[in-house]
């Protein structure tokens, strides 16, 4: 029974290692956009901005918004 647990842990660690570089890249893109400085590092404002964009992208105008 110990073997599957070790395997599950390994899979979890591998997924976490793979996810790390993607998250770092996304944070760099956000920083380069100026959003962090513009909002004075206010995490609630940054999150609200992303939530607003997400709601618009879920709408009917998704294709035209993505072209912008």
Structure tokens at 13: 């660690």
Question: According to the model, what pLDDT value does residue 27 have?
Answer: 94
How many degrees, rounded to 5, is the angle at CA 35 between CA 43 and CA 39?
50
* Secondary structure of the chain as H, E, C letters: CHHHHHHHHHHHHHHHHHHHHHHHHHHHHHHHHCHHHHCCCCHHHHHHHHHHHHHHHCCCCHHHHHHC
Q: Give the mean model confidence (pLDDT) for residues 33-61.
A: 94
Global pTM value = 0.66
Average pLDDT over the chain, rounded to whole? Answer: 88
């Amino acid at each position: 029974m110990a073997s599957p647990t070790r395997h599950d842990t390994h899979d979890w660690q591998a997924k976490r290692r793979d996810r790390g570089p993607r998250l770092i890249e996304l944070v760099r893109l956000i920083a380069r956009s100026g959003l962090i400085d513009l909002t004075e590092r206010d995490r609630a404002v940054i999150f609200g901005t992303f939530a607003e964009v997400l709601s618009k992208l879920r709408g009917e105008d998704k294709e035209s918004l993505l072209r912008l």
